[in-house]
Amino acid sequence: MAVLCDWEIKARCRQSQMVVPFDEGLLNPASLDLRLGDHLMIESIYSSELVRINIADRTEDDPFMLQSGEFCLAETLELFNLPDDISSQFVLKSSRARSGLNHLLAGWCDPGWHGSRLTLELKNERLHHAIPLFPGLKIGQMVFHAMSKTPMKSYRETGHYNNHLTVMPNVA
């Protein structure tokens, strides 16, 4: 596998809508910055199920505050349509990690994953302070890998997480 460079990511996004919306200003030499979307799923003391909330009205000046030690599921603003010859991996931006945010390393995306926003597993590792979250926040970056060969079966056929337009809990 080889990591796609900026001009290859740009070409794939323009040709096949691999990432929608595609913003050229988010390109890095070997990745594409991703932004936080409008929905989270958070814990509630009243239910063992995570509760879906809309943070579309939150801003940098009035963010949702992820409290110390809290876990949430979040979504990317970007929607993905990976072709059968490209896989990708989400990594948290270093500036988010340095603020105390942790991503629980479940960001691998198989070739053929499509029609979906990426669900992120986030935790505030700080002991005494909340971390602000709001739509449009640069949360991480996607690294795209060119497959050495096309797989026998695409995630398009085998995947459980295709065509998910919002943050999703576990789909066993």
Integer CA distances (angstroms), 10 to 53, 94, 137, in order? 32, 23, 21
CB 113 within 8 A of CB 76: no
CB 74 within 8 A of CB 133: yes
CB neighbour list of residue 16: distance below 8 Å, 6 or more residues apart: 81, 83
The overall pTM is greater than 0.85: yes
46-67 pLDDT per residue, tens: 888 899 999 999 999 999 999 9
**Active centre residues (catalytic):** 121
What number of other Cβ atoms are within 10 A of residue 73's Cβ?
Answer: 20
Distance between CA atoms of 156 and 54, rounded to whole angstroms? 28
pLDDT at 98: 96
pLDDT at residue 172 above 80? no
Domains in the chain, CATH or no CATH each: 2-158 (2.70.40.10)
pLDDT at 64: 98
